[in-house]
Structure 1
Amino acid sequence: MAKRGLVLSTTAALAAAVAVVGFQLANPSIAAFRDSPKEVVDEVWQIINRDYVDGTFNKVDWRQVRKQFVENRDYASKAEAYRAVREMLKLLDDPYTRFMDPEQFKSMQIDTSGELTGVGIQLGMDEATKQLIVVSPIEDSPAAKAGVMSKDIVVSIAGQSTEGMDINKAVSLIRGPAGSKVTLGIKRGERQFDVELQRAKIEIHPVVAEVRDTPIGKVGYIRLRQFNANAASDMRKAIQQQANQSVTGYILDLRSNPGGLLYSSAEIARMWLDNATIVSTIDRKGESERLTANHQSLTDKPLVVLVDGGSASASEILSGALQDNKRAVLVGTQTFGKGLVQSVHSLSDGSGMAVTIAKYYTPNGTDINHSGIKPDYVLELSKADRERLSGDRELIGTLSDPQFAKAVEVLNAKVQNPQTPSASRP
């Protein structure tokens, strides 16, 4: 498994950064398909056949699928082949295994330390209702400034209903040139309303870190927005800088963090854990890979982690590792519940796909898929609090933020009694 090809994000191609696992045709006879639309269909079939996590392929006869989509069908255009690929993948009933046309794939490869163009939302799909939901808005994006919130349901895009729409289609409708506008129909509880958003170039910095003056002294506040290729180096810098300021402890904010790269979350876990299991992954053959901390922790000072329903995938790996190893106390609400790993592949014509290749388990062997992780201290923000924090995002991570205030309270208790949770030691 390529280090940076393993993806855990619920992020749609609106704003994703992943490294690509190259794909080579396994069978030389397939060379006859080169420069043919059928080649892409065959490539996708082969990847699923070889790597997909479910060996029953959702109880579908995958060889019969090959006959239907590859052997017995011709394609007059790439567009026709792409439609067939999506039809084929739909049989797996897995929203995270998805095909991306060249434009969508290029968007997915954007380095998120630079700029991207969009409205700034991470989209997911509710597997029960098949509705498109906002996993989280990106900080300071048009969507965030307009008050779009995690768990909002996107019911329409530019006047078109999203009923039955997959994420790729939604992304293609939402994306567009900077300065242009798009209207999203949002459902929040029983309320339904439209939000007009102006697309913009968005700078995404994965780590925001500040030392907060609190009643218990200086506290290192670190907010991690996404697990991209730069997240680990930014996190290391933040921890070290705050340690130099003699903070009493740390609050790590993973709220509305949709995930990202598996190894990025593991590298960050190693900064907090000294010697412990971080996560285990199991593929369809039952082969397991265990990632561990290796005596490289940067601090053993008390740590509280903030999580919510928008904390997904890599966020859940990190928070699960810290909770199971009694290194940190979790405060907030139940996490998103995505315990699947995707590998990203480039295809011969510049398109790409993400395929679910494994399940992951927390150090205690917990499968959090669908169920999420329950915090040690559950604290739900009121509707008024959510709207207040959404309206003035400068209040997030301050004592005006009820979940942060609770984290300070919990951190104080750990400072007074540092016995547990503490860094796991050999």
Structure 2
Amino acid sequence: MAIAKRGLVLGATALAVAAVTVTGAGIQLSQGQAFFEESPKELVDEVWQLIERHYVDATFNQVDWEAVRQEYLQRSYSDREDAYTAIREMLDRLEDPYTRFMDPQEFRNMQIDTSGELTGVGIQISQDEETEEIVVVSPIEDTPAFEAGVRSQDVITAIDGHSTAGMDLNEAVSLIRGPVGSEVTLTIRRENRSIDYTIVRDRIEIHPVRYAYKEGPEGPIGYIRLTQFSANAAEEMEEAIAALEERDVTGYILDLRSNPGGLLFSSIDIARMWLEDGTIVSTVNRQGIIDEEAANGKALTTRPLVVLVDGGSASASEILAGALQDNERAVLVGTRTFGKGLVQSVRSLDDGSGVAVTVAKYLTPDGRDINKAGITPDVMVELSESEREALSENREAIGTEADPQYIQALDILAQEIRAARETHELDVGAVPSR
């Protein structure tokens, strides 16, 4: 897999299983590494300058960034480890848990993870900006954490008995990760309960797209579940749509529930499969709009579409959902999404380490900034605690009659199909040839 010098990532989260949301830089450790071993202060200054040039907030979150530089360049550093510690301290001044430094091993792990060969427990975690608690964005389906019953919005209060109070996000990730076959115990706070999950780490092969041909009230429909926006997600989505179009489905349910996000380009590519025209997303840095992505007239279908979302739908999921909602291409059903609207650029440093810098925020086509606010569905369908428990314990029930949100989506899709028939749109569900 070709690795770019730097890459845009969505959702400012860390993965205890892997950092599939980023593209990093190749690890070529030669003269640059030797240079930084001799002059670790130069590494500190390089990171400072990256923030100075690219950070999304020109005020650096009200931090005197020039004074920070003077403070850290006045120090003496005996080795690279000293420099790494200083860099982490320096970045902490921004109070942005998503702008973070990775030592060479952490960065190497990130790069390995982008290849899709993952190890760990299978959760994406984030640090609450106000409480600094470690929060589960979403467990990834068919992973040890998912099988154990870990859920979106769970708060990790301890890892192997070590309290996470005051713990850095990177430290939490390091403690959760480990060799295949080893165990880690996560202490979870869920509402007013404390639950211990002892989970066996594993190697995880992720296929982000699953689809099924199902019967619906108005004829056969296509059900597609997208679990994350990894590098292979767009290819698998294209295959799913093509297969279902061949079977002449009348409409689609796209399930983005508990999808924690991923690669920016993946969300854009997938949006173009559903949208014939219209804006998809705008990314905005401290100078204003820097990029706007739009549909390219190559949609794979225009058949009626309903999208399922919930509190675990984050980042790239919110880009796709927001684009489909604002362009009136789909009806959104479920609960409010997570609310991650930040973009990171991951950059390599010459000693093999790397830094993720928050460089932009994204807006939906109608200009909505969903960071922290999330996206509100067109039709709100809450699950009761018992319903969530049942779906968590039996994942095969997701997307079936035992899934209340799916049932509601199916009913709404039937309404959309009937409306399309009345306006003679359904017969041209497949985009006309050009």
Partner of 1:146: 148
Letter in 2 for 1:20: G
Partner of 1:325: 327
Identity across matched positions, percent: 61
For the Cα contact (< 8 Å) 1:326–1:421, is it kept in 2? no
Does the alignment pair 1:334 with 2:336? yes
TM-score normalized by the length of structure 2: 0.91
Letter in 2 for 1:62: W
Cα deviation, residue 111, structure 1: 4.6
For the Cα contact (< 8 Å) 1:282–1:358, is it kept in 2? yes
1:87 aligns with one of 86, 89, 94: 89
Partner of 1:351: 353
Cα deviation, residue 128, structure 1: 2.4
Q: Cα deviations across residues 319-339 of structure 1 (Å, max 9, x unaligned)?
A: 000000000000010001111
Structure 1 unmatched runs, 5+? 25-30
Equivalent-residue separation in structure 2 for 1:420 and 1:154 (angstroms): 52
Partner of 1:45: 48
Q: 1:268 to 1:56 in 2, by over 3 A?
A: same
Does the alignment pair 1:19 with 2:23? yes
Equivalent-residue separation in structure 1 for 2:12 and 2:346 (angstroms): 13
Q: 1:111 to 1:237 in 2, by over 3 A?
A: farther
For the Cα contact (< 8 Å) 1:307–1:335, is it kept in 2? yes
Q: 1:359 to 1:389 in 2, by over 3 A?
A: same
Letter in 2 for 1:188: R
Letter in 1 for 2:159: I
For the Cα contact (< 8 Å) 1:222–1:251, is it kept in 2? yes
For the Cα contact (< 8 Å) 2:23–2:114, is it kept in 1? no
Structure 2 unmatched runs, 5+? 29-33
Partner of 1:311: 313
For the Cα contact (< 8 Å) 1:113–1:204, is it kept in 2? no
Partner of 1:133: 135
Q: Cα deviations across residues 9-35 of structure 1 (Å, max 9, x unaligned)?
A: 3441422222226899xxxxxx97564
Tell which deviates more after alignment, 73-82 or 83-92.
73-82
Partner of 2:415: 413
Partner of 1:273: 275
Equivalent-residue separation in structure 2 for 1:292 and 1:8 (angstroms): 17
Equivalent-residue separation in structure 2 for 1:380 and 1:327 (angstroms): 23
Q: Cα deviations across residues 217-241 of structure 1 (Å, max 9, x unaligned)?
A: 2211111111121111111111111
Partner of 2:105: 103
Does the alignment pair 1:403 with 2:405? yes
Equivalent-residue separation in structure 2 for 1:23 and 1:109 (angstroms): 9
Equivalent-residue separation in structure 2 for 1:135 and 1:42 (angstroms): 33
Q: Cα deviations across residues 125-170 of structure 1 (Å, max 9, x unaligned)?
A: 2222211111111111111111111100000001110011121000
Instruction: Give the paired residue count.
Output: 418
Equivalent-residue separation in structure 1 for 2:71 and 2:390 (angstroms): 54
Partner of 1:56: 59
Partner of 1:170: 172
Letter in 2 for 1:316: E
Cα deviation, residue 288, structure 1: 2.8
SS of structure 2 residue aligned to 1:417: helix
Cα deviation, residue 108, structure 1: 1.6
TM-score normalized by the length of structure 1: 0.93
For the Cα contact (< 8 Å) 2:273–2:301, is it kept in 1? yes
Equivalent-residue separation in structure 1 for 2:130 and 2:219 (angstroms): 45
Equivalent-residue separation in structure 2 for 1:252 and 1:234 (angstroms): 13
Computed over aligned residues only, the root mean square deviation of the Cα atoms, in angstroms, reads 2.4
Q: 1:329 to 1:129 in 2, by over 3 A?
A: same
Equivalent-residue separation in structure 2 for 1:50 and 1:181 (angstroms): 42
Cα deviation, residue 77, structure 1: 2.8
Cα deviation, residue 78, structure 1: 2.5
For the Cα contact (< 8 Å) 1:23–1:347, is it kept in 2? no
Tell which deviates more after alignment, 34-43 or 129-138.
34-43
Letter in 2 for 1:325: N
Equivalent-residue separation in structure 2 for 1:348 and 1:365 (angstroms): 38
For the Cα contact (< 8 Å) 2:264–2:316, is it kept in 1? yes
SS of structure 2 residue aligned to 1:135: strand
Cα deviation, residue 62, structure 1: 1.0
SS of structure 2 residue aligned to 1:397: coil
